[in-house]
Amino acid sequence: MNRLLSLDYVVFFIYLIGVSGYGYWVYHRKMNHQKQSGGMDSKEFFLAEGSLTWWAIGASLIASNISAEHFIGMSGSGFALGLAISSYEWMAAATLIIVAIFFIPIYLKNKIFTMPQFLAKRYNDTVATLMAIFWLLVYVFVNLTSIIYLGALAINSISGISFEWCIAGLALFSIFVTLGGMKVIGYTDVIQVLVLVMGGLVTCYLALTLISEKFGFGSDILKGLSVIQDKAPSHFHMIFDKSSPHYKELPGLSVLIGGMWINNLNYWGCNQYIIQRALGADLPTARKGILFAAFLKLLIPLIVVIPGITMYVMYQEGMFQAEMTDLNGVVKPDHSYPTLMNLLPNGLKGLAFAALTAAIVASLAGKANSISTIFSLDIYKKFFNKTASEKKLVSTGRITVIVAMLLACAVAPALRNLDQAYQFIQEYVGFISPGVLSIFLLGFFWKRTTSAAALASAIITIPLSTVLKFLPGWTDGAFPDFPFMDRMTIVFVFLMLLMVVMSLADKKSKDNPRVVIIDKSMFRTSPGFIVGSAIIIGILAALYTVFY
């Protein structure tokens, strides 16, 4: 039944009023404090400088990361591929540890507030501006647009509210949260994460209960988990070999030692949208927050992937055939999660609906804030108004939020032909990941890296990725058709070598000043951080050993 009942709306509006009221309280309290201290400055609006606790940073990282592309797209990939899609989440947990140890100290020590700012400081304004423009285009027309599209699609399929009204509602709610600044986003994200985890676990419980009852075990979720392992053994392997039909999407050991690292290090370590949450904190607080996010990452497959696998088993058993196919009889994996949510009883469906909305709104708010940060600080102030006051920067940021959301709403309906949305997004974002990561890594750790080398990497990454993707078709298969993760590895290695050769060829590079401050003591961690990291690595080792 694709509509919400009265109790569902009651639960949903409790969530809506709770988040809105808490956000307003945080904003009102902040404004009262700022009236005494002279008003909100740009660092407070964009970064919530010094205001976020470690648990708020960790929750905000996850809330900003988890969205409709996970609930809908990753669950759909769970239906199609199985548990292996969880590598994006579980390897992200390991990546977050590396980011906390090596990346965050460099940003904080050098007082970096935006990624283009780092590029301007380490290289030059040309590299910084090129990447700033590129990030803005990707954030608005790929990320923000896809989040709104998938979110509206999911809410439409669950509630029956028209697709257009779903887009408008998500945009308005997200703008409301975003205009309060990063502090409001950060603390409301704590509620968002709590709701999305609760709602996700409820949906997972329903899925496993359904499959357990289907096979005569009653409401025993552990039996349900055992059933899906028995009925879909191919869906419980983390590493595909070359004989697998899904090898191109997750190519074997590349998820452990290849392209997955390039994807994750770029996303978690060089991405304004993500890293911004920790840039306003001190180092111990930032590291605790990132470690907390890594623990939360371990939970995500339970919330979104297991329901997708369960739906696959039920579909194979003849259930939900109509719901999982389109009018032409083609199976649509991304229908998995909405179909499950429509089966929830009155009230619990409202909770799951709130969870999905929480994930979408948190992600939209975080993305919009990052767009406004980059535009205001790296474009507007640098090129349009170099003497802009703090008040002017904040108002420009707010206007940017509204404009970006309107643009994304206008473009979102054009994405209706997507199938496995999560894989689609990962592949095409992977066109830029090698270039960005090579620029940052060498910029961090090799003094001789030149601006010309960084610019070459920024310019070449998309054309080279495009050629590797389409050359097999252009040559009728004469050129190897590499999986997209392997393409990322090839492009990354090529760009790293190119940058090294270009930098060594420039004799002046020997005299490059050390513009990025690095002290080895920055990379030391506390005993508590070491213990937490060891626990996460141990859990990951066990998971990959059991489900290899």
512: pLDDT confidence band, cut at 50, 70 and 90? confident
The helix-helix angle for 259-269 and 433-445 (nearest 10°) equals 70
- The model's pLDDT over 13-59, given as tens digits with 9 standing for 90+, comes to 887 787 777 666 766 665 555 555 555 555 555 555 556 788 888 88
Give the chain's radius of gyration (CA, Å). 23
Q: How far is CA 50 from CA 25, 114, 372, 388, in A?
A: 18, 16, 20, 23
440: pLDDT confidence band, cut at 50, 70 and 90? very high
Do residues 89 and 301 make contact, with C-beta atoms less than 8 angstroms apart? yes
* pLDDT value for 419: 55
Q: How far apart are the first and last CA of the chain?
A: 38
What's the full length of the chain, in residues?
Answer: 548
Q: What is the CATH number of domain 43-429+518-546?
A: 1.20.1730.10
Domain ranges, ordered by start, for the chain: 43-429+518-546
**CA distance linking residue 30 with residue 182, whole number of Å:** 11
* pLDDT value for 341: 78
- The model's pLDDT over 264-294, given as tens digits with 9 standing for 90+, comes to 999 899 988 788 778 878 899 999 999 999 9
More confident: 265 or 154? 265
Do residues 214 and 226 make contact, with C-beta atoms less than 8 angstroms apart? no
- The model's pLDDT over 312-323, given as tens digits with 9 standing for 90+, comes to 998 888 888 888
